[in-house]
């Protein structure tokens, strides 16, 4: 079972979905990400799960940027680096060569 967390209009997410085929897709803007999933992903990726290049990040105040990463992601799910892929109980972040080799 593979679940992809991302945005439906994200080019990288669309590439991953096209390559992966039959998966469960969760649009983080519309549906959010379950807290338990965020905790597990944060345990694996730590601060790398926050996309600090995003417009959403740049629009946050310095005080908001200092909040705990999981709190930030719950309040602003589009801050999550994408896609977050859960494949056979293991989490992968991004759609790079290592992720592709692991899930395809």
The one catalytic residue in 4, 7, 10, 85 is: 10
Distance of CA 23 to the CA centre of its chain: 15
Is 13 an annotated catalytic residue? no
Known catalytic residues?
Answer: 10
């Amino acid at each position: 079972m593979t679940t992809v967390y991302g945005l439906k209009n994200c080019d990288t997410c669309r590439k991953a979905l096209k390559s992966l085929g039959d998966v469960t897709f969760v649009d983080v803007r519309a549906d959010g990400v379950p807290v338990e999933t965020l905790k597990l992903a944060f345990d694996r990726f730590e601060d790398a799960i926050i996309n600090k290049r995003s417009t959403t990040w740049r629009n946050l105040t310095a005080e908001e940027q200092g909040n705990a990463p999981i709190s930030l992601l719950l309040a602003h799910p589009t801050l999550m680096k994408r896609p977050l892929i859960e494949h056979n109980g293991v989490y992968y972040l991004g759609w790079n060569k290592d992720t592709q080799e692991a899930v395809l």
